[in-house]
A and B are shown apart, each in its own frame.
Chain A
Amino acid sequence: MASQHIIELQNVTKYFDDNLVIDNVSFYVKKGEFITFLGPSGCGKTTTLRMIAGFDLPSEGKILLNGKDISLLPPNKRPVNTVFQRYALFPHLNIFENIAFGLRMKKVVNTYRNEKGEEYQKVEKLSKAEIAAKVKKALALVDLEGFEKRSVATLSGGQQQRVAIARAIVNEPEILLLDEPLGALDLKMRKEMQIELKEMHKRLGITFIYVTHDQEEALTMSDTIVVMADGVVQQIGTPTDIYNEPANTFVADFIGESNIFNGTIVGDRRVKFCGKTFDCVDDFERNEKVDVVVRPEDIVMCTPEEGTIKGKVISVVFKGIHYEITVQVGKYEVVIQSTECRKVGEVIGMKIPAQEIHLMKPKYTSNVFDGVITKRNTVEFADGEFECDVTQLYPGSHIDEEDYLVTATGEQIDLTGTEVTVEVGLYDVSISDDEEVGGTTGNIISIIYKGDHYRLIVRTDGEDEEDFVFATDDLWNENDRVSVVVPKDKIRLTLKNTEDKKR
């Protein structure tokens, strides 16, 4: 039922200057639900919220409220209210005036009857008594009775938070937007407020749209979670769905702890990883490469003989309610969470139930770029210039003394300006912190540990903003600036214009 969709985003794209921050996002929010936008900082979740509030306008696409297009409606005309990250309470007004602010802006249509008994209508502001009553009710709802005369500065963070909520809900919005509202509170306060917000959601019955980067907060509070990264929606689902069936390795890595391995399908519902073959429930083509995700708490420890895999315990950390045990299995590291303790150095066996092995299509199998051959027979792509072997474009060709390409038939070709498709394998890229070494430079934007190696994504910092995905054994940090090195013989080139292809 379409009318149940209180908010709907249709192909929304947002640029700031030339930066793409939201890339063709579409989803809907059901009336009355508690929905959370979850993702790392800079993923576009706050921008999405701000577009729903009306502070930012979408560059492309539409935002519908109850089926009506509100994409360009100014924020003061939208029936939504926001609880801001740092509360944004007006420091020059007391608590009463802060909460009454929205009420004083409001105009309502009142119906009166004159002496003749005819009805007539008047547009009026809310009366003083009405405002006072509503403010009182709102303060009671957030447990701050009697705080009317206090000034903002005298309140603690938690109290300011409550005032911010009261100030928003007193206007009876259809949707309450919350932009990381608990970020500034300490842990204990945060837990308390999580429960209170959830209760408030139940009591008010309105839609809550919540933004956070804290996965635990999202899992505890939401009916629906929208996981975002890089301005793109990665997965939408209930907390259980998202935790148990992550759509890709990003979601698996971001939500909860995960062991992520590279695997290969070796038979009907049989997958090989960590050097052993396991039963699984997902159906894939034989020989297909897959990403394997296993939650640390889903691994069952047993005797070395019973286990599918076995290994030596290399570290044990007590985490309060469980132990985190790291096991070396061959060249892979496996992390287990268990209430049972093991000793470092002990050899143990491990089993993984078939339904706990989550397989997903790898998002990246190789790197493909658009490139152009330069005068010096190098190739330009991804904001950089790399040495390459251009003779692979024409089988049997060679380069003559004047740097022209001579084909097998003896034809001389000037390749300058030729457009090519560049392909670089996942294992053919390396990086260095010496910016001079590589063909291009960029920042590490993602790191995922895959048991025995890391999968990194480096985004180049020129205008192309291309991503290199590759595997490495070395540990780097996110946002490190690096240069990307690709050996000459690992750059695979194909001509773009298929007519010229002589294969």
Chain B
Amino acid sequence: MMKKCFKATYIGLILFLLYAPILLLAVYSFNSADIIGTWGEFSFRHYITLFTDEAILEMIGNTLLLAFSAAILSTVLGTAGALGIYYSKRRVKTALNGVSQIPIINAEIVTALALAITFVVVGIEKSFFTLLIGHMVICAPFVVLSIMPKLKQMDNSLYEAALDLGASPAKALFKVVLPQIIPGVISGFMLAITLSLDDYIVTSYCKPSTFNTISTYVYNATTKGNAHTAVTLSSFWALTTIIFVVIVATVVAANLIGKKKEER
């Protein structure tokens, strides 16, 4: 009994420490003051700033635009890539798999530096396009990685059965193979979104100077002090809180859906 109590306490303590900073911000995001520790009065002030400041709104829009375009392109590229790799001859397979793992194992800073220097060498001006490429380099290999196991689990005679029943190779792929790997495609897409939303280093190396995502904006605001005012800094509290609530809601919803599926 003692043991059980101790275990629960330990887990609880670590969880508390993990959530403490976020909860602190969440509480003070409803405070009228701009400094944590001094309580003014309950207020939506920071939220109002968040939703009226054009620069902040723009960088949020940029982040979402970038994340979704990078994730969609990576998913298409990665799904086709995974299928191509899986059905290739062994030597091609090993080579492509190996290269595909480089961005996964590599330190992000190395990937970022290599890309940035290459863009300059080749003479490509930094733009949304280069940024998109940068994000695809980190996302697409993860899509491939999450689809591969599904392909390996699949019974290979399914594809042959489809051909046997008169489907053309393309039809067999879309009507039979794709449905088998769709869970891998979805988790690859989700992974791509989170990777893109989270990224700072590759973004900072590949972005044009006028373009900001949440990551680069907040980083610059805190370290270089080019956030215009303390008002902006405290609106990050509100942003953190909103993101946190959205994530918790998604997790709960996903859990509920999963449970319903299990019950059926």
Contacts and interface: CB of A to CB of B under 8 A. Distances in A.
Interface residues of A, number: 24
B146 to A, nearest CB: 18
B165 A84 contact: no
A85 B169 CA distance: 21
B216 to A, nearest CB: 42
B160 interface: yes
B157 A81 contact: no
B162 A101 contact: yes
Interface string A66-90: 0000000011100011101110111
A161 to B, nearest CB: 14
Nearest to B89: A17
Contacts of B165: 76, 81, 101-102, 105, 167-168, 171
Contacts of A84: 157, 160-161
Interface in A151-197: 167-168, 171
A86 B155 contact: yes
Interface in A237-277: none
B164 A53 contact: yes
B179 interface: yes
B161 A76 contact: no
A76 B166 contact: yes
B180 interface: yes
Contacts of B172: 76
Q: Which of B161, B162, B165 has the most CB of A within 10 A?
A: B165
A105 B168 CA distance: 9
B60 interface: no
B177 to A, nearest CB: 10
A27 interface: no
Tier of interface size on chain B: 10 to 19
B93 interface: no
B7 to A, nearest CB: 38
A311 to B, nearest CB: 51
B166 A105 contact: yes
Contacts of A76: 163-169, 172
Q: Which of A74, A90, A102 has the most CB of B within 10 A?
A: A90
A88 B155 contact: yes
A91 interface: yes
A74 B161 CA distance: 13
Contacts of A75: 160, 163-164
A90 B158 contact: yes
Contact of B157 (A86, A92, A106): A86
Contacts of A55: 160, 163-164
Interface in B119-172: 155, 157-158, 160-169, 171-172
A105 B160 contact: no
Interface string B65-96: 00000000000000000000000000000000
Nearest to A78: B164
A196 B158 CA distance: 25
Q: Which of A55, A88, A92, A106 has the most CB of B within 10 A?
A: A88
A246 to B, nearest CB: 33
B149 to A, nearest CB: 16
Q: Which of A53, A80, A84 has the most CB of B within 10 A?
A: A84
A39 interface: no
A439 interface: no
B231 interface: no
Nearest to A179: B157
B157 A102 contact: no
A167 to B, nearest CB: 7
Given A76-B169, A82-B160, A106-B166, 15 more contacts: A74-B169, A75-B164, A76-B165, A76-B168, A81-B164, A82-B164, A86-B157, A88-B155, A88-B157, A88-B161, A90-B162, A90-B176, A101-B167, A101-B175, A168-B164
14 contacts: A54-B164, A75-B164, A76-B167, A82-B160, A82-B161, A85-B157, A86-B157, A88-B160, A90-B162, A90-B176, A92-B179, A106-B166, A168-B164, A171-B165
